[in-house]
Structure formats: structure tokens, C-alpha cells
Amino acid sequence: MASIQKRGKKFQYTISHTVNGKTQLIRKGGFSSAKEASVAAAEIEVKLAKGIVPYLTPVPFDNYFKQWVDLYKKKVAHSTRLHYNYTARAIKEYFGSTPLQKITHNHYQEFLNEFGEGKSKQTVEKVNSHIRSCLKYAVRDQIIPYNFTEGTILYFTTQAKKANDKYLDVKESEILFNELLKKLSSGLGYYILLLALTSGLRYEELVGLTVNDFDFNSNTININKTWGYNNRMPKGFGPTKNESSNRTISIDEITMNEFKKLLKTLKPNSDKLVFFSPSSKYKVISNTLANKLLKKTLTNLGLNPITVHGLRHTHASVLLSHGVSIYYVSKRLGHKDVETTHKHYTHLTKELHEKDSKNTVAIFNNMKDNQ
């Protein structure tokens, strides 16, 4: 039977059990109430009754997270690894080497509350998801009895941009599409904007395209690599974000015909890059230049400016608005899974759900024989 003690303003439990004829004590503190400590102790006693001995050696949170990333996130893209490094720094700054076994729900909630000051929901959500995934392994390995991220509430103070500010609607995208076709003769930058709109590729995928990636017989583009276009990325060619990002997608004939003409006029470069720019530090059209061109073009059209990444959202939004399956959109964008697509386009899927609901009712309303 566990005993509960009050230590300062917190409570701890102590459980005595025998291993190889020797008595060992299991202690854990930091609970806000005696009841909370009793519930946690009961969970340990159930495990002991099943022959499952809790992990007694203290495991520093910061070290465990780093080891988990190194072991299980070895194949992630460089940009994704930077996100994990950001989470690792957040853990180090707040928890340091505090053992996982000493962290409670309340302790973790205090971390979220402090970390969330000045942060957006997306930032807090990403850090929390990294930690939650890591702790699933800690529970599996019996280092901790439960995942202390469960049941906690995300806290943030900076509102993300409204979804409507991040992408163009169907009519606006049509206006932009036709305007970009007119401007192609003005420079290579307009080609990258056109392809961003009609393909939905990430910027690192766009600048990583080579002449060999275009198949004009089938009007498809093969995406199997990226290119480092800033100082946060490895130089030159790199892997795609995840395995699902390696894909072949169909492109409209208008865009492909324009690129077929373009590739015949490109100056050769050793890497066969389509968007090669010898004057650029990273040898490709910079994201800054592309964003400036897009902003200028949209402003001249009287449309609200968005970023080049917003063209990816625009592409997906246009497809979904035309009734294209979210499963196809997910594969086309190279998302890890369809849940990622649902998460990014919740605002659209809700609208489409309402539309489908009305259409479903109309189908059965129209079944009645009016003769």
C-alpha cells in the first residue's frame, strides 16, 4: 500500500516493493493534491502487480529528447530537423536536465503557459506535438507511467494570420494565372510563380527542379529532391521533406507548353537547374525576389498580396473548391498523411462539408416520382 506525504505545498507517494529479497522504495513527488498522488501511486501498484517494474534511474528530459530525435528522426529533411532543434532548446531552457520521472501534468502545463507568451498557436502546437510523440516512447519503455502532455491545454498570445489572408480564392487565382502568362517574357521569376500556382510545390522543391524532371510526353513533373536556397538549409541538392514528398504530378498543358519553350532557351549549368541564377548566392532565384515579384503583380492587379508559399495554399484551395478529393490533394502536395491536409485546410473542408450536406439532402428530395 502506498503512503502519501506532504512536502511543502506538494505531495509525494512512496511505494515499497521487494526485488530479489531486497526492499526498494519508489518515490515520486510534485503532485498538487493527496488524491492526485494516490491515483498515480495506484497506477504504479497495478503495474507492479503485473510484474512491470518502473524505470527507477533518473532520465534527464533534455538528453532523452535529443537521443529520441537522433534515433527516430534521422531521415527527416534539414528544415524539419531545425524545428526539432527549436523544441530541444525550449526543453533545455525550461526543464534543463530535470528527470522525466519528476515532471507532472501541472509542471508541463506551467511550461506551456510560459512558453506560449508571445507565440502563435502553430508554434506552441508544433513544440507540444514533438514532445508528446517523444513521450510515447518513454511510456513504452516504462521510463514514465503516463504521458504528461495528455490533457494539457495549449496557451498562446499571438494570433495567426486569418486563413483568407494566406491564399487567393478561385476567381483571384484565375486572374493571377492569366497575368503571369502575359509576363513570362519579362523574366524567369514569373515562370517560378506560374509553376508554384499550378503545381503547389514547396519553394525548395521548385528551385530543386532540373530539366530532366519534366516529362512533356505525359505532361508530368517528377519531384524527388530539393535545393538549399537559404543559410538554414544544406547547400545544393537535398532530400525532400518526407517519403511522401517524392512524387510525380500531372501539370496542365498550358503551363507545360510554356516550360517546353523555356527549356529550349535556358543557359546550361552544371546541375541542370531550371531556375538557375548565376548572380544569386545560392545559384537559384531567391525566395525574396520571387516574393517581391508576386507582391508587385498582385498589387498591380488590385489583389491582396500573399507570399509564394501562399500560392501552395492557393493551389490546394482551388482544387478542393472544385471538388477534388482531399486524398488526391494530400498526395499531390506531398503531405505525410491526409490528416496533415485536413489540419491545414479545415476552413475549406468545413465549407465543402456543408455543401455536400445540402447536395445529399437534395439528391433524396429529387428522388420522388413527380409523375
Which pLDDT tens digits describe the chain residue by residue (371 residues)?
A: 789 999 888 999 898 877 677 777 888 788 889 999 999 888 888 877 776 666 667 899 999 999 999 999 988 877 788 889 999 999 999 999 999 988 999 999 999 999 999 888 889 999 999 999 999 999 888 788 889 999 999 999 877 655 445 888 889 999 999 999 999 999 999 999 999 999 999 999 999 999 999 999 999 999 999 999 998 888 999 999 888 999 999 999 999 999 999 999 998 999 999 999 999 999 999 999 999 999 999 999 998 899 999 999 999 989 988 888 889 999 999 998 998 888 778 766 566 666 677 777 778 777 766 55
212 CB neighbour count, 10 Å cutoff: 9
Q: Which residues pair with 222 in a beta bridge?
A: 248
Compute the distance between CA of residue 262 and CA of residue 275 in angstroms, rounded to an integer: 11
Looking at residue 154, what is its pLDDT? 94
Q: Read off the C-alpha cell for 26.
A: 519508489
Compute the distance between CA of residue 4 and CA of residue 102 in angstroms, rounded to an integer: 16
Compute the distance between CA of residue 204 and CA of residue 337 in angstroms, rounded to an integer: 20
At 137, the amino acid letter reads Y
Compute the distance between CA of residue 304 and CA of residue 162 in angstroms, rounded to an integer: 13
Cα 307–chain centre separation:
18
Do 44 and 4 form a contact (C-beta atoms < 8 A)?
no
Do 13 and 2 form a contact (C-beta atoms < 8 A)?
yes
Contacts for 130 with CB less than 8 Å, ≥ 6 apart: 65, 83, 84, 87
Whether pTM > 0.85 for this model: the answer is no
Pairing of strands 237-238, 226-227: antiparallel
* Length reported for the chain: 371
Residue 100: strand, helix, or coil: helix
CA dihedral 53, 56, 62, 65 (to 10 degrees): -20
Compute the distance between CA of residue 139 and CA of residue 62 in angstroms, rounded to an integer: 16
**Which helix (DSSP H) or strand (DSSP E) does residue 299 occupy?**
helix 287-300
CA dihedral 85, 89, 95, 96 (to 10 degrees): 100
Cell numbers 518526407 label which residue?
Answer: 242
Distances (CA, A) of 219 to 136, 199, 250: 44, 12, 6
Backbone region of residue 353 per phi and psi (left: phi > 0; alpha: psi in -120 to 50; beta: other values): alpha
Do 321 and 174 form a contact (C-beta atoms < 8 A)?
no
Contacts for 192 with CB less than 8 Å, ≥ 6 apart: 206, 207, 275, 285, 290, 308
Nearest to 195 by CA among 172, 217, 223, 170: 223
Contacts for 368 with CB less than 8 Å, ≥ 6 apart: none
Compute the distance between CA of residue 352 and CA of residue 366 in angstroms, rounded to an integer: 21
Compute the distance between CA of residue 319 and CA of residue 324 in angstroms, rounded to an integer: 5
Q: Nearest 5°: phi and psi at 78?
A: -60, -40
Do 111 and 92 form a contact (C-beta atoms < 8 A)?
no
Looking at residue 163, what is its pLDDT? 47
